A and B are shown apart, each in its own frame.
Chain A
Amino acid sequence: MFRNNYDNDAVTFSPQGRIFQVEYAQEAVKQGSVVVGLVNKTHTVLVGLKRNAEELSSYQKKIIEIDSHMGIAIAGLASDARVLSNFMKQQSLGSRLTYGRPLPVDRIVSQIGDRAQTNTQHYGKRPYGVGLLVAGVDDAGPHLFEFQPSGMTQEMLACAIGARSQMARTYLERNLEKIAGSTRDELIIHGLQALKETLSQDKELTVDNTSVGVVGLAAEGKIESFKLYEGQLLVPLLDALERSEAGEETKEAETMEVDS
């Protein structure tokens, strides 16, 4: 029987130049439920689809506040995400204590990137089985970063990771221009819309399975602190999504009338 000899540890290359353990870790990200992130000129929004293991259990947390100017959305092993988010919280707090300055987003992202990369280069270690979307604001404005178990990090305009995330990415690619020029509330709707694209036929977004995180710049260069919308707080957001969809449909209907 065929056996792969090159996936026993994360430090051995296969003859094709691949590191299987890292690729398996990336598979773990694809198994996690989908999270979407997107930025406009003032805000960054994270949207996540929460899953419950069984009917009687609670829903898994998808969006975590790191500091008042930063939050993450996770796809993959939640316990690995907890390690990373605790680290990020500590670093963020440390920056506020020693410098009195909120930690710049690119700084913390490259730090967790470095940590994840060391895990792919030491015998006996394993890569993190989680992908993150990091949303935050700093002196350079709003940011969205993608983090992968390989240690790769990238700044993104919009991004989706997790199960069936391709559908969300397609939506984001098609609406990139609209997203860039959107308002804060429109940005949330675009996020929810992208999330909705990933749902299978029999599913829909509810106050229980949806999670929204928003952070951005308020007027006069002040920071609008990271806000997590879950449960009843989601009602107005989901209503707005429904209204915007209804609006689109009537628009389509009107154009059809003109045609006929």
Chain B
Amino acid sequence: MNHFPEAWGRPRDDVYGPYNSSYLQTTGPKGHTQSPAVTGTTVLGVKFNGGVVLAADSLASYGSLARFTDVKRLRKFGDTAVVGFSGDISDMQYIDRLLDSIDVRENYSANGNTLNARNIHTYLSKVLYKRRSEFNPLWNHILVAGFDDDKKPFLSSADLLGTTFSAPHLATGFGAHLAIPILRRLFPEEKPLEDISKDEAVAALRECVKVLWYRDARSLDQYSIAVISAQGIEFQEDQQVEAQSWAFAETIKGYGAQVN
């Protein structure tokens, strides 16, 4: 086994002769913004009868290091929309400032802020697409929750390429693998939105956050949850994953504190 990563994926010297290293560029454009540094993991979202719930934990990881444990990744916009961010935290802070400046501009107008969640989602997807087209992407996957032009619950995602996707329940990051199957089981396609209550949706997200805490190594047991309904935005921060049971871990080889 060759332990030098530079040689991985290249022709072997003993078979093909020494590799012409002039092909290996040592200089070139800087690539600081071509990969994320400090990242947040899953954001979860579910629509229910009369609104949307969003949840995200409070961890910002530096690689595999749990670097910051009190980062709020859900952000209110006006009185009607919430944006949830996964991916790069500094890019999240940049987008947060963009949204702040739009909020200020909107509130200068006689009519106040009239941008709804759909408008914010359209805007953010254009920002993300513009940045990917400059080969300088904002390394985020976002969920936008709120209401659309017809005052119907709205939930949609946009990623670092500017790709948009909409569904009754959505998850970014690891949650796309772990939470979506749970949410699909709880809220199958046949089940109309009108039959899903706010309490059901909140309970489902809390359950998903717990499962992610069990199985996603970049997650945390502290999280925020936001309920957007006609009554306004109900924001709960510093939530704790309750009623944990790690008994299952005993039976799984390679999980937890087993020695061999």
Of A97, A99, A101, A138, the contact of B111 (CB 8 Å cutoff): A138
Interface pair B122/A107, CB less than 8 Å apart:
no
Asked if A100 meets B122 with Cβ closer than 8 Å, knowing A106-B109, A107-B109, the reply is yes
Least Cβ distance of A109 to chain B in Å?
A: 10
Task: Please tell me if A257 contacts chain B, counting CB pairs below 8 Å.
Answer: no
Of A99, A106, A140, the contact of B123 (CB 8 Å cutoff): A99
Complex interface bits, B104-116 against A, C-beta within 8 A gives 1, otherwise 0 = 0000011100110
Question: A106 — which chain B residues lie within 8 A by C-beta?
Answer: 109-111
Task: Please tell me if A139 contacts chain B, counting CB pairs below 8 Å.
Answer: yes
Q: DSSP majority for the A interface?
A: mixed
Interface pair B109/A99, CB less than 8 Å apart:
no
Complex interface bits, A213-256 against B, C-beta within 8 A gives 1, otherwise 0 = 00000000000000000000000000000000000000000000
Task: Please tell me if B119 contacts chain A, counting CB pairs below 8 Å.
Answer: yes
Q: DSSP majority for the B interface?
A: helix
- Measured CA separation A101–B120 after assembly (Å): 10
Question: B126 — which chain A residues lie within 8 A by C-beta?
Answer: 97-98
Question: A138 — which chain B residues lie within 8 A by C-beta?
Answer: 111, 114
Task: Please tell me if B218 contacts chain A, counting CB pairs below 8 Å.
Answer: no
Least Cβ distance of B17 to chain A in Å?
A: 55
Interface pair B115/A99, CB less than 8 Å apart:
yes
Identify which of B111, B115, B120, B122 gathers the most chain A CB atoms within 10 Å of its CB. Answer: B111
Task: Please tell me if B141 contacts chain A, counting CB pairs below 8 Å.
Answer: no
Least Cβ distance of A108 to chain B in Å?
A: 11
Of B109, B110, B122, the contact of A98 (CB 8 Å cutoff): B122
- Across chains A and B, the number of contacting residue pairs, with CB separation under 8 Å, is 28
Question: B115 — which chain A residues lie within 8 A by C-beta?
Answer: 99, 101
Question: A140 — which chain B residues lie within 8 A by C-beta?
Answer: 110-111
Complex interface bits, B194-206 against A, C-beta within 8 A gives 1, otherwise 0 = 0000000000000
Least Cβ distance of B113 to chain A in Å?
A: 10
Question: B111 — which chain A residues lie within 8 A by C-beta?
Answer: 104, 106, 138-140
Question: B122 — which chain A residues lie within 8 A by C-beta?
Answer: 98-100
- Measured CA separation A100–B123 after assembly (Å): 8
Task: Please tell me if B76 contacts chain A, counting CB pairs below 8 Å.
Answer: no
- Listed by A's residue number, 23 A-B pairs whose Cβ atoms lie within 8 Å are A97-B126, A98-B122, A98-B126, A99-B115, A99-B119, A99-B120, A99-B122, A99-B123, A100-B122, A101-B114, A101-B115, A101-B119, A104-B109, A104-B111, A104-B114, A106-B109, A106-B110, A107-B109, A138-B114, A139-B111, A139-B114, A140-B110, A140-B111
- Apart from A100-B122, A104-B114, A106-B111, list 17 A-B contacts with CB within 8 A: A97-B126, A98-B123, A98-B126, A99-B115, A99-B119, A99-B120, A99-B122, A100-B119, A101-B114, A101-B115, A101-B119, A104-B109, A106-B110, A107-B109, A138-B111, A138-B114, A139-B111
Q: Which A positions have Cβ atoms within 8 angstroms of B?
A: 97-101, 104, 106-107, 138-140
**6 tightest Cβ-Cβ pairs between the two chains A and B:** A100-B122, A99-B119, A140-B111, A139-B114, A101-B119, A106-B110
